């Protein structure tokens, strides 16, 4: 569903803004298109797998000392797939 993909991309754009503004991270740590470029069929399951098994674990490494930030962005990413 294009709507789900657009919603996830919008969420990641917001996440990337926060990553860029983080003094410990910056531009070199933003989430790029490569997570989505090899998808043959974009569906909710595929988006969920990317978020749960690739993006959220990366955020856990980025912000290992800021669990509240991980929780906020994990929830935002998960919710972005549920916008109908």
* In the chain, domain spans: 2-80
Is the pLDDT at 61 greater than 90? The verdict is yes
Convert the pLDDT of each residue in 17-60 to its tens digit: 999 999 999 999 999 988 888 777 778 888 999 999 999 999 99
φ/ψ of 73, rounded to 5, equals -75, -30
Q: Cα separation of 28 and 39, whole Å?
A: 23
């Amino acid at each position: 569903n294009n709507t789900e993909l657009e919603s996830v991309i919008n969420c990641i754009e917001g996440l990337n803004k926060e990553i860029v503004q983080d003094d410990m991270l910056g531009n070199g740590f933003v989430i790029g298109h490569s997570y989505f470029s090899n998808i043959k069929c974009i569906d909710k399951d595929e988006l969920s797998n990317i978020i749960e098994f690739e993006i959220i674990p990366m955020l856990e490494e980025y912000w290992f000392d800021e669990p509240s930030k991980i929780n906020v962005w994990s929830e935002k990413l998960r919710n972005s797939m549920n916008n109908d």
